[in-house]
Amino acid sequence: MRIIAGKHRGRVLAQFSGKEIRPTPDRVKESLFQILTPRLAGARVLDLFAGSGALGLEALSRGAREVHFNDAARESLALAKKNAAALGEAGTFSALDFRIFLRRAEGKYDLIFCDPPYREAFLAEIASAVAERDLLAEGGLLLYESEREEETPAGWALSDLRRYGRTAVYFFTRDSL
């Protein structure tokens, strides 16, 4: 696992061992960030299920202004902090269940990365909380990575869908009513 592009291009990140952990593969991350790069300059980003921090750190490497890393697992957050420190990057870190985090979050995010454990179905719950709390900036994207077919939540529009083998990344925007 590495940083694909930007100021930290090629830097290797520490990662988890074991079969329960499923980081976003580099080929998926590379494709995803080719799409997102024009949106990253000065962006405020939320990495809601941060894991090792790879998505948020890629965003910082490519020009994001600020990344908030959240993960309920303290060992995941420790690894994200370790990776950020190794790159000399700062971020805000929270070890909260995503529901609690979304209830407490303040301000608006330009990009919200959601890469939950694949066996979980959190999209509707996350989308509802983000909409209710008005956490997505105008023109912002909620990105949701999954191996299952996902229904577009009420009040949202599917602006793009990219498939990479079994992995799909859904790009949602707020539906303009």
Write out the H or E segment, with its range, that includes residue 35. Answer: helix 26-40
Residue 88 lies inside a defined structural domain of this protein: yes
**Model confidence pLDDT, tens digit, residues 88-106:** 999 999 999 999 999 999 9
Residue ranges making up the domain that contains 165: 26-174
pLDDT of residue 3: 83
Residue 9 lies inside a defined structural domain of this protein: no
Number of domains in the chain: 1
Structural contact between residues 177 and 166, judged by C-beta atoms closer than 8 angstroms = no
User: How many angstroms separate the CA atoms of 137 and 108, rounded?
Assistant: 5
Weakest mean pLDDT among 2-11, 18-27, 90-99: 18-27
**Model confidence pLDDT, tens digit, residues 116-139:** 987 788 999 999 999 999 999 999
Residue 19 has pLDDT above 60, yes or no: no
**What residues have CB less than 8 Å from 57, skipping those under 6 apart?**
3, 8, 13, 67, 80, 83, 84, 87, 89
Residue 70 lies inside a defined structural domain of this protein: yes
Mean pLDDT of 77-95: 95
Residue 18 lies inside a defined structural domain of this protein: no
pLDDT of residue 146: 92
Residue 82 has pLDDT above 80, yes or no: yes
- CATH code of the domain covering residue 74: 3.40.50.150
Structural contact between residues 98 and 48, judged by C-beta atoms closer than 8 angstroms = yes
Weakest mean pLDDT among 73-82, 83-92, 116-125: 116-125
Residue 39 lies inside a defined structural domain of this protein: yes
Q: Average pLDDT of the chain? A: 92
Residue 153 lies inside a defined structural domain of this protein: yes
Residue 16 lies inside a defined structural domain of this protein: no
Structural contact between residues 15 and 52, judged by C-beta atoms closer than 8 angstroms = yes
Predicted structure pTM score: 0.93
Q: In what order do the strands lie in the sheet with 156-164?
A: 92-94, 66-70, 44-47, 109-114, 136-146, 167-174, 156-164
Residue 41 lies inside a defined structural domain of this protein: yes
**Hunting for tokens 């407490």 — which residue is that?**
104
